[in-house]
Amino acid sequence: MTVSAPTASTTAHRAMMPVLIALSVTHLLNDMIQSLIPAIYPIIKEAYRLDFGQIGLITLTFQVSASLLQPAVGLYTDKHPMPYSMVAGMGFTLAGLIGLAYAGSYGLLLLSAAGVGIGSSIFHPEATRMARNASGGQHGLAQGIFQVGGQTGGALGPLLAAFIIVPRGQGSLAWFSVAALVAMMLMVWTAASYARLDRQRPPKPAAAANAAAPRHSRGAVAFAITILIVLLFSKNAYTASFTNFYTFYLMGRFGISVQNSQVMLFLFLASSAAGALGGGLLGDRIGRNKIIWFSILGALPFTLILPYADLFWTGVLTILINLIMSSAFAAILIYALELLPGRVGLVGGFFYGLTFGLGGLAAALLGEVADVVGIEAVYKICSFIPLVGLLAWFLPRLSEGSVRAGH
């Protein structure tokens, strides 16, 4: 009996699912290590007598180093896939992590944070390309699964900091080198499995190759990408106010302990996993434009209320805000991939790089503002940022066929 194309595609997708899950787990470990950097800010702020501007500069150093290489790595791996490059990237992360644990000066903190950033810049483009190719055409679902790992890892950092690093000090960061080593072993398995399954994949028919042709003019694509960048900056600027300064805001306004503030930061970040998966799934069903609209502008009522809420409602509102806003990244990334088909590594590296770079820039700016007007005023200013979501009106609509197009 001849196997139909949909059945063959489904079988290939099922064969790739373990690779996709493994990529999600490595994303979890990678982003968990990254998230330990802002999670230790309350400790090093006191130990090194840092101001908010210097705290923001650490984030800027980490995120700029994570952003600069990503487009170049993505452009290269589009033409020359390098699944094992992820292992080398995690090696940089491991070196940076150990450096952070034993740094004796502010300069070494910056250098070590840059090492973790370089590791991230190598990991994300290739992992994004592999996740895209393992999607079986369900790009939103695949990107959602991949994002769940990263978002969960990012949420674990503050929790681990609260119960391990805060009681035991900066040196306990070195314990997490075990996670880096586990990630490296898993990356070796993932790369080998992906390469084996990729060799078994049947060649794409001519129709699929033609589907990869650009559907919009260069001007329209450039205009849409510019809007996506602005939307991404608005999302990252607001998120940066939490990942870097939320614990200080909670301790200053409500007088809670460092540990309790880290737990509340965990609750905020943990909602990202559900939002990322939900945004990916809904994007496959209702289109990217609607998800982008909702994910940024939909948070506005809650961000406006947040600066005036008590401790309980602050926790509730921050979870709702991040649940909504975290659905944006998967939709933005896949929308960009559909605008620029065949450039998975470049688009993945560019937008992950933008995430880190814009987040670092926002953190540095917000740190300086906090030193001048106070941390509570920062959250009142940031409450209006989701208004930028109105720019989604100008994004060109993708056809239904484009939304469901295969890779």
Write the CA distances from 336 to 144, 230, 250, 331, integer angstroms: 15, 13, 36, 9
Which among 3, 109, 27 is positioned nearest to 60, based on CA atoms?
109
Query: How wide is the angle at C-alpha 246 spanned by C-alphas 108 and 101, nearest 5°?
Result: 25
What is residue 311's predicted lDDT score, i.e. its pLDDT?
A: 93
DSSP code per residue over 128-179: HHHHHHTSTT-HHHHHHHHHHHHHHHHHHHHHHIIIIIHHH-GGGGGGGHHH
Give the whole-angstrom CA distance, residue 403 versus residue 300: 27
What is residue 14's predicted lDDT score, i.e. its pLDDT?
A: 62
What is residue 207's predicted lDDT score, i.e. its pLDDT?
A: 45
Contact call for residues 241 and 131 (beta carbons, < 8 A)? no
Give the whole-angstrom CA distance, residue 205 versus residue 220: 28
- Structure pTM? 0.68
Per-residue pLDDT of the chain (407 residues; tens, 9 = 90+): 444 444 555 555 565 788 888 899 999 999 899 888 877 888 888 888 888 888 888 888 887 887 777 777 777 877 787 888 899 999 999 999 999 999 888 999 999 999 998 998 888 888 887 887 776 667 667 777 887 888 788 888 778 887 888 788 888 899 999 999 999 999 999 888 877 766 665 555 544 444 444 556 778 888 888 888 888 888 888 888 887 788 889 998 999 988 888 888 888 888 877 777 777 677 667 666 777 878 778 889 999 999 999 999 999 999 999 888 887 777 787 788 788 877 777 777 777 777 667 777 887 888 888 888 988 888 999 899 888 888 888 887 765 444 444 34
Query: How wide is the angle at C-alpha 295 spanned by C-alphas 245 and 117, nearest 5°?
Result: 45
What's the sign of the alpha-carbon dihedral 155, 85, 363, 239?
negative
Give the whole-angstrom CA distance, residue 106 versus residue 294: 41
What is residue 398's predicted lDDT score, i.e. its pLDDT?
A: 61
Residue-range domains of the chain with CATH: 16-197+214-403 (1.20.1250.20)
Give the whole-angstrom CA distance, residue 403 versus residue 27: 25
Characterise 50 by phi-psi region: left (phi > 0), alpha (psi -120 to 50), beta (else).
Answer: beta
What's the sign of the alpha-carbon dihedral 107, 350, 324, 236?
positive
What is residue 404's predicted lDDT score, i.e. its pLDDT?
A: 43
Give the whole-angstrom CA distance, residue 163 versus residue 179: 17
Q: How many residues does the chain have?
A: 407
Structure tokens at 286: 């209702």
